[in-house]
Structure 1
């Protein structure tokens, strides 16, 4: 089969399309024919070696994908050959024509969801759900500010939050991105390149500030986020690309709570809750990924370059 292989950590160029043996499932495992693979910012951190969970070399990137069950190992009763699934993890990686998964990595893909959309499910929607509900405890009637709302996680957060009855402010910078955020149902779209955007947040909340902030780029925004946060507000940090000088007094002054999170750390019971919520959301139609671009598997380096650009627009997927 064809697969992207990383032999050394580095830039996007270290990813190469190679011929490798197709894996066979052992007991409790499932082989999935990948129709589309999701590309996430965390994939770029892992590839560069700048992540606490850096994989052993060589490896095939990717945990998110969607496709059809090709073969099941002994003891697998939850799925059978021909079932449509999305992946929430992978043993062998999803940037490939086939991916070997533990049965617990898989979720059923509703018939009304395409494979490309399915490839954009797990990391964005699980991250957004965990950030909003399992960490920040967001609830109906509250107001949430979603930074970088035109990217995959941002779009997912808008959809989750609006369905849950929150008032949603979403930030973006490009005209295309701002239109997308509005189209997804945000109550107000804010240009985060405007130095006064947090003042706008305060005005929109009658000076009170928002209850929850979902922070995608903490090294740039976190210090200033407190200018737009309410007393006793909560911030969930889901993305960061560097260090910052931070004054803890801004947290103390508002009795605020800052949560860090990583899907790698989510316990099994939380993941089970997320899987159930995802299936319900897609089955009922209030969740739907926006695909920014579909890129051929061999062009994975270009996909990685695009996913880390600041003007995110929808989900990037690889197609074998």
Structure 2
């Protein structure tokens, strides 16, 4: 007998833009409807990114209608598909980069098919929730914006964070020489483990002095939170020229997972009731060590 989908779900709901206090767990939220080309995702894990906090605070150039459910990144199972969805079927393991009102800090999320991607069994749902913004941002920054090429030299400031580690893994897989910086011993170790050719502590005075005058960089990526490269990704429209960019990034991530050079690092896992803490930590914690995620279903 076919299981009947519940009409209500547990979710974090934001009814006004503001501080952490506007994020509230509600237990009787209507499961979002899906359109013709949308997927209903049964969310297992939600990713946490700085852009989530900018949107919640109303400090972003494109804001969802209120009330809304936060959470851009997520991973889980396909629960239901719209009539014109061709790439997925119920039961598929997927991850998403959800650009919409019904985000992933909920038991269910409605996502345009263009922003849904297959999640191979080699990665956990926690790792899947850490793929979207970090890896797509790194790909976009390295190749679609900077035009990085095999054999070039790359400096990644703040390489121990989610986007930084993604950039290290991607760059090394594409033949770049990578120098990464971090601010803690744990962070430096992670950057080295991700494949960086050398690591520097950016909290040490004159940390770049160890580089000789001839060691110039072809590309420099800056990962500071206040100029985070991920903030422009959700602004990409889901039609026209950018559709091919999303497809290109999704294909590249799929290739990386299968080849083994994409491996998201999970720093800390929160429960849904701890989502406020996750939003605080993604901005204010010191010494980034990978991705923060929220386990939606416990």
TM-score, L = length of structure 2: 0.90
Deviations 1:176-219 (A, max 9, x none): 1111111111111111112312333x42xx43421111112286
Aligned to 1:130: 140
Aligned to 1:213: 220
Q: Is the 8 A contact 1:144 1:211 kept in 2?
A: yes
Q: Is the 8 A contact 1:127 1:263 kept in 2?
A: no
2:235 corresponds to 1:264: yes
How has the CA–CA distance of structure 1 residues 219 and 102 changed in structure 2, closer, same or farther, with 3 Å as cutoff?
closer
How has the CA–CA distance of structure 1 residues 170 and 278 changed in structure 2, closer, same or farther, with 3 Å as cutoff?
same
Aligned to 2:290: 314
2:169 corresponds to 1:145: no
Distance 1:219 1:32 in 2: 31
2:279 corresponds to 1:304: yes
Moved over 3 A (4+): none
Q: Which residue of 231, 251, 261 maps to 1:286?
A: 261
SS at match of 2:140: helix
SS at match of 1:49: coil
Distance 2:258 2:51 in 1: 27
User: Please, what is the CA RMSD of the aligned residues?
Assistant: 1.7
Q: Is the 8 A contact 1:150 1:181 kept in 2?
A: yes
Distance 2:174 2:248 in 1: 15
Distance 1:15 1:147 in 2: 31
Structure 2: runs of 5 or more not aligned:
1-8
Q: Alpha-carbon deviation of 1:76? A: 1.8
Deviations 1:41-68 (A, max 9, x none): 1101111111111222221111110000
SS at match of 2:218: strand
Distance 2:99 2:230 in 1: 22
How has the CA–CA distance of structure 1 residues 48 and 218 changed in structure 2, closer, same or farther, with 3 Å as cutoff?
closer
Q: How does 1:81-96 map to 2 (within 5 A)?
A: 81-91=90-100, 92-96=102-106
How has the CA–CA distance of structure 1 residues 218 and 301 changed in structure 2, closer, same or farther, with 3 Å as cutoff?
closer
Greater mean deviation of Cα atoms: 31-40 or 68-77: 68-77
Distance 2:277 2:60 in 1: 21
Distance 1:97 1:166 in 2: 40
TM-score, L = length of structure 1: 0.84
Distance 1:90 1:36 in 2: 16
SS at match of 1:127: helix
How has the CA–CA distance of structure 1 residues 31 and 96 changed in structure 2, closer, same or farther, with 3 Å as cutoff?
same
Structure 1: runs of 5 or more not aligned:
221-236, 241-260
How many residues were matched structurally? 281
How has the CA–CA distance of structure 1 residues 142 and 9 changed in structure 2, closer, same or farther, with 3 Å as cutoff?
same
Q: Is the 8 A contact 2:50 2:225 kept in 1?
A: no
SS at match of 1:210: coil
SS at match of 1:80: coil
Q: Alpha-carbon deviation of 1:265? A: 2.9
Deviations 1:239-268 (A, max 9, x none): 69xxxxxxxxxxxxxxxxxxxx54523711
2:18 corresponds to 1:10: yes
Q: How does 1:49-198 map to 2 (within 5 A)?
A: 49-91=58-100, 92-198=102-208
Q: Is the 8 A contact 1:90 1:99 kept in 2?
A: no
How has the CA–CA distance of structure 1 residues 197 and 219 changed in structure 2, closer, same or farther, with 3 Å as cutoff?
farther
